[in-house]
Amino acid sequence: MTALMREIEKQARLLSVEERELPAERLPATASGAPLTDLDIIGLEEAERRYSLWKAGQTKGVAAENALADIRREMR
């Protein structure tokens, strides 16, 4: 591990759990070496917004099979 990586890890440990979630979600998306596109960023931000609403109890989840069935119906 490089000195820079050790410093990044040290600083990351000082963040709150919520603050650590964002880089933890975004970094794997860049592991291929390809930069995130504007569409990737918009998708991540929307997912984060929806997760925050769900976590705050302001919305409820939908079973994946129900969501996919709704999408399939809409595509007909």
Q: How many Cβ atoms from other residues are within 10 Å of residue 58's Cβ?
A: 9
d(CA 13, CA 11): 5
Question: Which residues does 59 contact at the CB level (< 8 Å), separation at least 6?
Answer: 50, 53
Predicted model pTM: 0.50
For 22-66, what is each residue's pLDDT tens digit? 777 777 766 777 788 899 889 988 988 998 898 899 998 889 999
Instruction: Output the pLDDT for position 13.
Output: 86
The pLDDT value given to residue 48: 87
- pLDDT of 36: 80
Whole-number Cα distances in Å, 37 to 30, 32, 40: 10, 13, 5
Tell me the average pLDDT across 2-13: 88
Task: Provide the pLDDT for residue 29.
Answer: 66
The closest of 12, 11, 14 to 26, measured between CA atoms, is 12
